[in-house]
Amino acid sequence: MTQAFDPRTGAAGVDDIEAGDIAAMPAPRRIGGHTALAGVIGWPVEHSRSPLMHNFWLAQYGIDGAYVPLPVRPGAFDVAVHGLRAAGFRGANVTIPHKEAAFRIVDRLDRSARRSGSVNTLVFAPDGAIEGFSTDGDGFVANVEAHGVVVKGGRALLLGAGGAARAIAASLLDRGVALTIANRTPARAHELADAMRADADAGTMVDVAPWDALDTVLPGCDMLVNTTSLGMDGGPAGGLPVDLARAASTLVVCDIVYVPRQTVLLHDAAARGLRYVDGLGMLIHQARLGFRKWFGTDPVIGPEVEALLDADLRGERR
């Protein structure tokens, strides 16, 4: 074996590597001019598990594609999106703090985005238009139903009034679920209720409850949905002002937080023998629409991708 020393780097060269070593190396992934590209835009974005999930699916289905994190500062969103479209990207997911900016930039809004007032999925159409979708609501419902809960009729107590709450509210109303909305800032709860009442036939199906009086409405609810960041690792201090001891034994408790997977709310639900659904499945289910539109395949949501994400959240992935 010859020694090839590079004086510029102090490193040995390729002549140091035996042919057998090369054969044993994993084949490098080839990214070329025809590779389909998508990503997730946010600031910050390094916490996102979307690249792990989408690249798992790309490998699973043998698709020539790549999904990358795209850190974009506030104020630079429009320039970044137009640049991605010009560079041939198929589209992108959008996360905090850009969902409202995404809503404003699109040329065509899907009904889901129009109702929720926010966009979390951009598709760059062949005609040059930017299409906007909100997949959070249907992703939430799909996750709940995957846990064996039929989402039809009844009443849900919805905590929070942000973009995810709006999307979930619209999807629940579409399935005949009446809503009681509560938020720490009452004006935002009323704003969301008014927006939902203005659409379709939701008029009498939506009301608002005071944040500090949730125990009075909880006994009449079939589902409790937390869309706030209370309970999230690194989130605001304090807990939710709700006592599950007052809930009916049939209450289904849902939390869209997935770090940690079992929040204090879900731990309390489990301790009381209530059915509960964590937020990781929503992350997975809401990703399907974008993947299908960007890469042309509808991924099957099996246990492998959930196990991959769960291991990553626990810091177990190598």
Handedness of CA 197, 150, 158, 92 (dihedral sign): negative
**DSSP tag of 162:** S
Amino acid at 278: D
**95 labelled ligand-binding:** yes
**143 labelled ligand-binding:** no
Handedness of CA 304, 309, 314, 318 (dihedral sign): positive
**186 labelled ligand-binding:** yes
**286 labelled ligand-binding:** yes
**185 labelled ligand-binding:** yes
**50 labelled ligand-binding:** yes
Residues 6+ apart with CB under 8 A from 100: 117, 118, 163
**127 labelled ligand-binding:** no
**115 labelled ligand-binding:** no
Question: b or e along 254-268 (b: 16 or more beta carbons within 10 Å of the residue's beta carbon)?
Answer: bbbbbebbbbebbeb
Strand partners, 178: 155
**48 labelled ligand-binding:** yes
Known catalytic residues? 99
**195 labelled ligand-binding:** no
Residues 6+ apart with CB under 8 A from 128: 85
**102 labelled ligand-binding:** no
| 3-state secondary structure at position 158 | strand
Residues 6+ apart with CB under 8 A from 80: 41, 70, 72
Residues contributing to the annotated binding site: 48-50, 95, 120, 136, 160-164, 183-188, 256, 258, 279, 286
Residues contributing to the annotated binding site for NADP(+): 160-164, 183-188, 256, 279
Residues contributing to the annotated binding site for shikimate: 48-50, 95, 120, 136, 258, 286
